[in-house]
């Protein structure tokens, strides 16, 4: 996937640990992102050699990164750039993770994250990963923003 300036300018994650290729939609309550799961990703060699599937923890990470992207878009003015970023999103809570379907090499996943509320510096979300328009993962989670200075 080509470099996505909007994503790179908003969150600190980078390949090979960036699990968002594109932003599909965004508003003040939700964000939808997408990622193509390349068949040559290294983890498929060991998870599992005869039946490769994407680890559930990485599917959750794709949701968490989508939540971080939502936070960045809500908190940062569009004219700011990488050099002006002095904060980092940090996961603080994972609740109710449910794994319903496997993701295989060559699939495209779509992450849907809905903003529930924020209390002070804590943000709370519900997220899911879809593959072939079917739910693969559902998870509730919380994040905060930390200063990097």
51 is catalytic: no
CA distances to 38, 78, 100, 114 from 103, in Å: 11, 34, 10, 22
Residue of 13, 47, 51, 112 marked active site: 47
Which among 67, 59, 40 has a CA at the least distance from the CA of 99? 59
Characterize 9-38 residue by residue with b for buried, 16 or more Cβ atoms within 10 angstroms of its Cβ, and e for exposed. bbbebeeeebbbbebeebeeebbbbbbebe
User: What span, in angstroms and rounded, lies between the C-alpha atoms of 100 and 52?
Assistant: 16
User: What span, in angstroms and rounded, lies between the C-alpha atoms of 107 and 136?
Assistant: 12
> Is residue 122 classed as helix, strand or coil in its secondary structure?
strand
**Residues, the chain:** 149
Catalytic positions, please?
Answer: 47
């Amino acid at each position: 996937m080509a470099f996505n300036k909007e994503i790179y300018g908003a969150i600190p994650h980078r390949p090979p640990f960036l699990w968002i290729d594109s932003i599909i939609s965004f508003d003040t309550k939700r964000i939808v992102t997408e990622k193509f799961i390349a068949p040559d990703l290294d983890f498929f060699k060991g998870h599992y050699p005869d039946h490769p599937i994407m680890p559930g923890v990485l599917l959750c990470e794709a949701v968490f990164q989508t939540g971080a992207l939502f936070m960045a878009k809500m908190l940062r003015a569009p004219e700011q750039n990488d050099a002006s970023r002095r904060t980092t999103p940090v996961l603080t809570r994972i609740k109710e993770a449910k794994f319903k379907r496997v993701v295989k090499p060559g699939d495209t996943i779509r992450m849907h994250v809905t903003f529930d509320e924020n209390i002070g510096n804590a943000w709370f979300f519900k997220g899911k990963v879809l593959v072939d328009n079917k739910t693969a993962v559902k998870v509730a989670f919380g994040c905060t923003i930390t200063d990097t200075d």
